Structure 1
Amino acid sequence: MALEWVVLSYAAGAEAVMLLLLTLPGLDGLRKGLVAVTKNTLKPLLSVVPFCLFLLMDIYWKYENRPSCGDEHACTPSEYIRHQKSVMKSQRNALLIAATLLLYWLLFSVTHLVIRQQQLSQRLEKLRNED
């Protein structure tokens, strides 16, 4: 299971780096290449969405089937600590899922805005050259 979370972490990191490079000012010379690379990686990165949903279902299943330390069942201190660690890991992983999905959506939106801005700039230059 740890490998799945590592893959998701790397995907979130790649999305964050691409988003940062697209939004940094002063990279106008590289922007055309960055947009092309980002546009080509959006489709493969879309596989992150069902992967996140699968991992979210895994968290939910573990939450529903976890041992309870209620009034009826007394837990030892080590079981209680293990239970608390499990809850903390689940919360951390849910935050990673949310961050990955948010970063993908932001990357998708920013890429399309940059492409639209480039198209409008080209259209404006064409109109200026015609006059």
Structure 2
Amino acid sequence: MALQWIILTYVVAAEAAIAILLTLPTPKVVKSRLVSLVSLILQPSLFVVPFSGFQLMDIYWKQEHRLMCSGETCTASERDRYEKSIYKAQRNVILCAAAVLLYWCIYRVCKYYKDIQSMEEVEKRYKDQ
């Protein structure tokens, strides 16, 4: 079970690094190459959206079927284990949300940059006429 969370953590870290690279001020040539490279990577990396959705459903199912630890029947170690599982579930929900949000941000930045490029090309053609 931990392998899927490690993979999702690495994907979120890579998405964050790409988002930072895309938003840094760079020369136009470097930015256009970077955006074209990231645009090629966006389509195959779309797997992160359904993967995160599946993980969220898994977290929800486990939350609904988790044994409650309340009252005098629980020992201190059982209560600690229960609280630890709640904290891990909350962390994993944040991780899934971050994966989807970062993917969307990267997609929008690339789309905006391509739109700006196409508008600049149209403006250049009108100036040449």
TM-score (norm 1): 0.91
Letter of the 1:59 counterpart: I
Confirm whether residue 102 of structure 1 aligns to residue 101 of structure 2: yes
Structure 1 window deviating more from structure 2 (119-128 vs 54-63): it is: 119-128
Counterparts of 2:9 and 2:67 in 1: how far apart (Å)? 28
Counterparts of 2:6 and 2:18 in 1: how far apart (Å)? 18
Unaligned 5+ residue runs, structure 1? none
Counterparts of 1:27 and 1:5 in 2: how far apart (Å)? 36
Q: How does 1:1-131 map to 2 (within 5 A)?
A: 1-71=1-71, 74-130=73-129
Counterparts of 1:95 and 1:7 in 2: how far apart (Å)? 15
Unaligned 5+ residue runs, structure 2? none
The sequence identity of aligned pairs, in percent, is 42
Letter of the 1:124 counterpart: E
Counterparts of 2:27 and 2:5 in 1: how far apart (Å)? 32
Runs of 4+ deviating beyond 6 Å: none
Counterparts of 1:52 and 1:11 in 2: how far apart (Å)? 11
In the alignment of these two chains, the number of paired residues is: 129
CA RMSD of the aligned region, Å? Answer: 1.3
Q: Cα deviations across residues 58-96 of structure 1 (Å, max 9, x unaligned)?
A: 11121112111234x711100000000000000000000
Counterparts of 1:126 and 1:21 in 2: how far apart (Å)? 30
TM-score (norm 2): 0.93
SS of 1:81's partner is: helix
SS of 2:113's partner is: helix
